[in-house]
Structure 1
Amino acid sequence: MATAVARPAASSFARVSLLIYTLLIVYASWYPFSGWRDMGLLPFDYLWARLPYYWTGFDLWTNVVGYAPFGALVVYALYPRVRSLWAALLSTLAGVALSAVMEAVQTYLPTRIPSNLDLITNSCGTLLGALIGVWTSRYFLRQSRLLEVRRSWFSREASRGLVVVGLWPLALIYPQNHLFGLGHVVPPLSSLLSDLLDTPIDLATWWTNSAQLSAEQYWLAEIIVTACGLTGAVLTMLLLLRKQAPRNMLMAIYLLGAVFVKSLSCALFFAPDNAFAWFTPGAAGGMIVGGLMLAGLSFAPPIAQRRIAGLALIFSLLATNAVPANPYFVSTLQTWVQGKFLNFDGAAQFLSVLWPFLALWFLYHPVHRKSGGQGAPK
């Protein structure tokens, strides 16, 4: 009797990643979301304009590289319903449509310039990513050693959680008032209210003027925010692991990866000698406190880990927005390099604000509570 061949499963990881990456593209393309106005041009007039006179190789390559992951993720998200060249074609069309809309809306943003050259390079990036996705889908979505490791170490329901924990180190790229203090909604909220009310509003300045803290209080606040942010993020990662997974090794790699990304971003966007500028006395104290908390909580039942992770992230989120910005941090943020990296700056800030809410959605959603990670491989 012939044995039935199991139908390949769709990848939740790819589909959630595609959704988040699309949101990053939208935010980066329309950042800083201020000064909206009608300039007397139709949204798609840029399509028929001459190619820009001034452009650099850097501009072209960043557009190609920025849309390549989108092309690959669309191919992965379509699997197994649509495969091979049909998936590449649909992915390319989706990238062209997305880029065309992003450029068209920039017509109403005085700080942005819609460009047909950007549309061309973004489309080329999507096509390149789609071809890479077709070529690598067998390795990532079918049978490979990487998939075997994923099934052996991580629970079957962990796909969405892997997206969340994978974004944490990237969310740390944008400067934070406190180390691991993600979810600082005050600056973007100030910008939104300023546009809606057509008057400058700075909630951060209002709060700073009404609640000045001493140096010792800033130090204590950073310890609390750092410890809670670290504990919440690492406990979320531990919830995805099975019993037989090398938990201590993966936890160490996760932390080292986050520190590496944070240090590299400080070196690139500030100055090479500022690679460890984030390592303040408050940050060091918070990492020690967080490490001690994790040393005990790593042995706690998954239910307790989930609850404590959620509470830690909520407390970190509230404290990050309640504590006024450290004057040293404000002066440091002014040296954050934007310029050619304006799109990247917007995406980095969006991810920094989004991550705690994304993690809380994962922790408290009923479907995701199955990812306790204690079962045997399936």
Structure 2
Amino acid sequence: MSDYGLHLLQPARHLVSRWFALIWLGVIVVVSLYPFSGWEWSGEPLLDFLTYPLPYYQRDFDNVVNVLAYLPYGFALARMSRRRWLGFLFACVAASATSFAVELTQNFLPNRVSSNLDLICNALGGAIGATIATVPLCRRIGAWLLARRYRWFVPDSTADYALMLLAVWFLTQINPAVPLFGVVVMPRGLPQPFLSPLTDPVLFLMLLEAGGAMLHLTATLLFITAFLSRRRYQLRAVLLFLAAAWLVKMLAAGMLLKPMAFFEWMNHNVALGLVSGLLAAWLCTRLPRGGQLLLALLALAGSIWLTELWPLAEAGDSGEELALFRWNEGHLRNLNALADFASRWWPWAAIGCLSLALWRILWSRFRPPRPDPIG
């Protein structure tokens, strides 16, 4: 193998793995400890759950979820070291320690149960993720993907962070009751009183719902195109992303929603916003990279502002919303907490990434020239 190939097999020299591991740690904490209320200690020994016999009644679905939840975490932890064996060992120990800390903390939550089986499944998931990150075949696949990354995207390290955030963005879509690319949710049930700045309150809600979807879609598409190395990749990248977003929403709806509520994630207002967002994104991609970055940042800020203007409260775990799902309430609470956590924090993380990319462009243009070396 050439020196270039050997170089590609090594972990990239950036902090993407550390940031991703930190983000996924937040995901684990939210899913495991939500809703962070009712803290109390029962007085039982905290470590007794380690010696309990494995539960006689268990669901394979829960065990698989516990394994899969720690797989990305173990993968990212293993990639933090350039030595494969050290990365694998660190990932296994850190994932197990994280799971132990979470299970120990669950002793203080009345709606949670500490489980040694969950600890075993979580540790197994971390070990599987570490294995995937270190085996030669998977590292060669990673090298191939890395080559595609440098072909499609700008060499700046901000593109690495943008790709990482795009992967995290799909977590915002895993709740099929939330509209596709929507930033607000029309609650079900009885109408809620609110003050409308327009004489037609229905029109006011429609503008907010459609405008939120338009701004979010525009910002997300520009978040992709602004980091592409060539314009000729724009159409393929946008179509691939839209297809992936649609597929995630369809799979989530098929798995979680009852047949009569399969298209709960789409309505006329959202459809109007998405069409407007596609048109706006197409016009904005005619601009240079700096302009796309700036407009993506403004669109994200606008979507955050619209969420603050939205006057209606979400239904939460009300009977009207739970009637849409086929899952039990406990699983839905965890899933909705994860989707809500990602939806709240993703725009701010994306704004930080866009701001860093804009700063580097401005710095490269206006920094003073380097003096010529003497001799």
Report the TM range for the smaller structure's normalisation: 0.7 to 0.9
In the other structure, the counterpart of 1:347 is 338
Which of 24, 28, 40 pairs up with 1:25? Answer: 28
Q: Using a 3 Å threshold, how does the CA distance of structure 1 residues 183 and 273 change in structure 2: closer, same or farther?
A: closer
Which of 202, 211, 232 pairs up with 2:195? Answer: 211
SS of 1:77's equivalent in the other structure is coil
1:229-252 CA-to-partner distances (Å, cap 9, x unmatched) read: 111111111111002651111111
In the other structure, the counterpart of 2:285 is 298
State which drifts further: 131-140 or 115-124: 131-140
Q: Using a 3 Å threshold, how does the CA distance of structure 1 residues 73 and 332 change in structure 2: closer, same or farther?
A: farther
**1:267 partnered with 2:254:** yes
Paired residues of 1:22 and 1:70 also in contact (CA < 8 A): yes
Q: Using a 3 Å threshold, how does the CA distance of structure 1 residues 53 and 264 change in structure 2: closer, same or farther?
A: same
**1:169 partnered with 2:157:** no
Paired residues of 1:181 and 1:317 also in contact (CA < 8 A): no
SS of 2:80's equivalent in the other structure is helix
The one-letter code sitting in structure 2 at the alignment partner of 1:352 is S
Identify unmatched segments of 5+ residues in structure 2.
Answer: 364-375
Q: Using a 3 Å threshold, how does the CA distance of structure 1 residues 268 and 370 change in structure 2: closer, same or farther?
A: farther
TM-score (norm 1): 0.81
CA distance in 2: counterparts of 1:371 and 1:102, whole angstroms: 43
Which of the pair has the greater relative contact order for Cα pairs under 8 Å at 6+ separation? 1
In the other structure, the counterpart of 2:321 is 333
Paired residues of 1:11 and 1:77 also in contact (CA < 8 A): no
Report matched runs for 1:213-252 at 5 Å: 214-243=201-230, 245-252=232-239
CA distance in 2: counterparts of 1:317 and 1:220, whole angstroms: 15
State which drifts further: 144-153 or 329-338: 329-338
CA distance in 1: counterparts of 2:65 and 2:35, whole angstroms: 19
In the other structure, the counterpart of 2:372 is none
CA distance in 2: counterparts of 1:13 and 1:324, whole angstroms: 37
**1:14 partnered with 2:17:** yes
**1:35 partnered with 2:35:** no
Q: Using a 3 Å threshold, how does the CA distance of structure 1 residues 140 and 13 change in structure 2: closer, same or farther?
A: farther
> How far off its partner does 1:159 sit?
0.5
In the other structure, the counterpart of 1:315 is 302
Which of 349, 367, 371 pairs up with 1:358? Answer: 349
CA distance in 2: counterparts of 1:247 and 1:292, whole angstroms: 14
> How far off its partner does 1:359 sit?
1.1
CA distance in 1: counterparts of 2:42 and 2:284, whole angstroms: 57
Which of 239, 245, 258 pairs up with 1:258? Answer: 245
> How far off its partner does 1:342 sit?
4.6
In the other structure, the counterpart of 1:192 is none
> How far off its partner does 1:314 sit?
1.2
> How far off its partner does 1:88 sit?
1.4
SS of 1:55's equivalent in the other structure is coil
The one-letter code sitting in structure 1 at the alignment partner of 2:144 is R
Paired residues of 2:34 and 2:334 also in contact (CA < 8 A): yes
The one-letter code sitting in structure 1 at the alignment partner of 2:340 is Q
Paired residues of 2:183 and 2:209 also in contact (CA < 8 A): no
Q: Using a 3 Å threshold, how does the CA distance of structure 1 residues 52 and 324 change in structure 2: closer, same or farther?
A: same
Aligned residues: 345
The one-letter code sitting in structure 2 at the alignment partner of 1:118 is D
Paired residues of 1:231 and 1:290 also in contact (CA < 8 A): yes
Q: Using a 3 Å threshold, how does the CA distance of structure 1 residues 303 and 42 change in structure 2: closer, same or farther?
A: farther
Paired residues of 1:229 and 1:312 also in contact (CA < 8 A): yes
CA distance in 2: counterparts of 1:12 and 1:257, whole angstroms: 26
> RMSD of aligned C-alpha atoms?
3.2
CA distance in 2: counterparts of 1:106 and 1:368, whole angstroms: 43
Identify unmatched segments of 5+ residues in structure 1.
Answer: 188-206, 373-378
State which drifts further: 97-106 or 248-257: 248-257
Paired residues of 1:183 and 1:357 also in contact (CA < 8 A): no
**1:66 partnered with 2:69:** yes
In the other structure, the counterpart of 1:124 is 124
1:76-125 CA-to-partner distances (Å, cap 9, x unmatched) read: 122x2xx2333212111111100000001101111110111111111122
1:145-196 CA-to-partner distances (Å, cap 9, x unmatched) read: 3222111111122100101122223312225765423489xx9xxxxxxxxx
In the other structure, the counterpart of 2:146 is 147
Q: Using a 3 Å threshold, how does the CA distance of structure 1 residues 34 and 265 change in structure 2: closer, same or farther?
A: same
State which drifts further: 95-104 or 298-307: 298-307
The one-letter code sitting in structure 1 at the alignment partner of 2:124 is C
